[in-house]
Amino acid sequence: MKKKLIVSDIDGTLLMSNKHISEVTKKRIFDLIDAGHIFAIATGRMHGAGKIITQELDYDGFLISCNGAVVKHLKTGEVIQAIELKPGLAQMVSEVCEKYGAYYHLYDMDTIYANSNRNLAKKFSDGMPALPEAFKFNVVFPESLPALIGKMPIYKIGLFHEKPEVFEAIMAELKLIDGLETCKSLETSFDVMAKGVSKATGIEALQKYFDVPLEDVIAFGDNENDMDMITYAGVGVAMSNAMEALKEVADFVTVSNDEDGLVYALDRLLH
């Protein structure tokens, strides 16, 4: 069998609704790795936060993080892609968020910098004490988030507003800024990266690294930030619990994340 590059999103795809990976899915992934295939996770989270999932799935390979801006090896720390958001553009995003009083955070590879202790930053901060030391990362609440811009690499900006009409207004304004790549990762979360960055660009970096043709790439997802990689991959697979727009563009629709959707699809696609 030809070597395949198999890439999976985390939430709603690899994880069941209980936020764990089923033993059936874990075994299937490791069997594929043992057979010579390549497995990678693609996430909107920064590398440090995405790595948490490897407590359950401790694979020796790369993690695509920050929606494709960063591709870094989980064991060696080797970085094969790191696409920064230029400071001028990050400043413009920050100004829009400040204008509307939105929660927002900046990602480097292993630190989240947030303008207030709420939303995703609070979730990470509250959960940090329970994490093993090897999986902890930094959650920082600086006095001035805009003052940090230009002093550190920024790979992604995430934002949120509790009022839907304000959230929509922020998204609309950011979409008008040339040089940005934008997408919703959850119903209430909006991500901003450098233009052209997506999970598909992360996959492309792995293809080049491992010399895998596009026809041998299988990607799994369920949400808007998976759209580019599902349409890019040789075979794009949508979970049955995915948004309808993703299912419409997928090559294959599998069963849900609670029914071992990865395993169901791979059993059919690889044989």
**What are the pLDDT digits (tens) for 84-125?**
999 999 999 999 999 999 999 999 999 999 999 999 999 999
Runs of H (alpha helix) within the chain: 23-34, 47-50, 87-100, 119-127, 145-148, 164-175, 199-210, 227-232, 244-249, 261-269
Q: Report the C-alpha gap between 126 and 30 in whole angstroms.
A: 32
Q: Report the C-alpha gap between 66 and 55 in whole angstroms.
A: 19
Identity of the amino acid at 152: M
Q: Report the C-alpha gap between 184 and 177 in whole angstroms.
A: 16
Reference 199, options 171, 158, 232; nearest CA is: 232
In sequence order, the β-bridge partners of residue 182 are: 192
Look at residue 189 in the predicted model and tell me its pLDDT. Answer: 83
Domain annotation for the chain: domains and CATH numbers: 5-83+198-269 (3.40.50.1000), 87-194 (3.30.1240.10)
Local structure of residue 251 (DSSP, 8 states)? S
Q: What is the value of pTM for the model shown? A: 0.96
Roughly what angle, to the nearest 10 degrees, separates helices 23-34 and 261-269?
A: 40
257-270: pLDDT as tens digits: 999 999 999 999 99
Give the number of residues written for the chain.
271
179-231: pLDDT as tens digits: 999 998 766 789 999 999 999 999 999 999 999 999 999 999 999 999 999 99
147-175: pLDDT as tens digits: 999 999 999 999 999 999 999 999 999 99
